[in-house]
A and B are shown apart, each in its own frame.
Chain A
């Protein structure tokens, strides 16, 4: 049995090499975020511990933790304004194949120190790596600036957050951090990943999912608007007409 396990370890991909003895046990304060009428963002507490089967050898690089939360990815179009005839109009545009609607990275140290460039590329950890952009039209020379603009705008909207050093790590064993989900969230499965790294190399990964969904009235209105648009439109009109009638009736009564 033990021999089989050793064999399995050998067959596993190389990503988990030198420190295979460490593993992550983690949980989230909530796996379900409900967007109701009074939804105003939410805070998710991510906490966990490092499980070790044997003590860490002297001289190994220190343990670091990286936590990412990623909203559903979707294609986006980034447009650039230019002055035409004195006014600012959208001119060039670049289609980005997939950009997460929300992306948060929390680390226990500076991202450049706790993760090497190669590992970042492999696991797509940093915000820039999480955006997938394959080729812009040939007419656009500086496609990179469009991706940067996307990151900048979403960062200003608190949708892309990199908070270095925000993961609290106690004795290389216990860790926790808080991820703030802003009020302007979209629905979907928010993939949560926890990476353990040593010397910039990923040694263990833990995956979890936060389900974000509209509930109650929000759910009902959204579904109705998309599935029964005609009924939804008529209902909106009915509300408007009755409110108008009510206002005039009440006003007449007061007079």
Chain B
């Protein structure tokens, strides 16, 4: 069934969109990630204009994160205070990101920037995750070696403006969370992702937050940042496609529930290595697009100068 998207101004198969939403939903349910980093490139592949894909995906992430954060609030695994600090940074970052996005869109470089961001970050995160989970698997096969937990005092602890984060059990400066928030906010706006796949490692390794509150807190912050991003894209670029968002949502929420059940049956290391392979595959495809000689070296942009 073909459906005409009013903002993207293209006609696509509705079942394809439901299916994509479903598949990405399953994956995000399995791995506990937003799935934006997979969905946005997939939308590029099926011919949705990048600007629309990025803005609409932000809207969809609001839905999936909201669904997720409700569960975490119930389990009290959300550090609202830390979330608030990250949020302040995130909103600033999102505003900057949308500005950059609009500017580059006028210059005709938005595709390049979005794709470069994807290649760099997916490559980095995917590579790290792959190595890390390979090690974990090897460790579990060689019993006897105990895991060394080091709690070191780094430069992070030397910064001023310290604040107590009770849920996380931390007493650290507000500067690192603010900076993390800003960076993730910029990326969220440019890449059309929640940024969970960057924020989660940053919270664990840079801020030293306990793993159990990380996912909930990151989801909490993501809702507001992506909601803000959606509003900014809607008011400055007019690129949020409601019909596209609804189709992706339906597939996504159903898929996420199925994925969550599959996820329970798999081992954590297996899950992570699968996710790493998937991330690297998407990264590889995008990298090839940038590196190989394109079939068509010309492209058409809408009028205007620059």
Residues of A participating in the B interface, judged by any CB pair closer than 8 Å = 35-41, 74-83, 86-90, 93, 95, 146, 149-150, 152-154, 183-184, 186, 214, 217-219, 221-222, 225-226, 229-230, 232-237, 239-241, 243-248, 251, 254
Contacts and interface: CB of A to CB of B under 8 A. Distances in A.
Contacts, number: 188
B112 interface: yes
Given A77-B303, A88-B297, A183-B10, A245 B66 contact: yes
Q: What's the dominant secondary structure at chain B's contact region?
A: helix
B264 to A, nearest CB: 12
B224 to A, nearest CB: 11
Contacts of A153: 296, 298-300
Contacts of A150: 298, 300
Nearest to A40: B2
Given A40-B11, A183-B10, A240 B70 contact: no
19 contacts: A37-B3, A39-B4, A74-B303, A76-B303, A77-B304, A83-B293, A87-B116, A88-B294, A183-B10, A184-B10, A214-B6, A225-B234, A233-B234, A236-B245, A239-B249, A244-B64, A246-B253, A247-B257, A248-B67
A80 B297 contact: yes
A158 B306 CA distance: 27
Nearest to A92: B298
Given A95-B305, A240-B249, A78 B300 contact: yes
Contacts of A230: 231, 234-235
B230 A247 contact: no
A183 B243 CA distance: 16
Contacts of A244: 62-68, 70, 253
Contacts of B254: 247
A217 B242 CA distance: 11
Contact of A222 (B2, B6, B293): B6
- A41, A149, A251: which has the most chain B beta carbons within 10 Å? A251
A222 to B, nearest CB: 5
A152 B295 CA distance: 12
A184 B1 CA distance: 15
Contacts of B291: 86-88
B213 to A, nearest CB: 19
Contact of B234 (A35, A77, A87, A229): A229
Contacts of A86: 291
B4 A183 contact: yes
Nearest to A233: B234
Contacts of B46: none
B109 interface: yes
Nearest to A254: B257
Contacts of A76: 300-303
Contacts of B301: 76-79, 93
B50 to A, nearest CB: 13
A225 B240 contact: yes
A218 B6 contact: yes
Given A76-B301, A76-B302, A77-B304, A229 B2 contact: no
B11 A39 contact: yes
Contact of A78 (B3, B235, B298): B298
A169 to B, nearest CB: 33
B59 interface: yes
Nearest to A222: B6
A241 B300 CA distance: 36
Given A38-B3, A254-B257, 17 more contacts: A40-B11, A77-B108, A77-B300, A79-B300, A87-B112, A95-B305, A184-B10, A184-B11, A221-B243, A230-B234, A233-B230, A233-B233, A234-B231, A236-B59, A240-B60, A240-B245, A244-B65
A237 B297 contact: no
Nearest to A234: B231
B299 A81 contact: yes
Contacts of B204: none
- A41, A237, A254: which has the most chain B beta carbons within 10 Å? A237
B238 A88 contact: no
B67 A247 contact: yes
B184 interface: no
A240 B7 contact: no
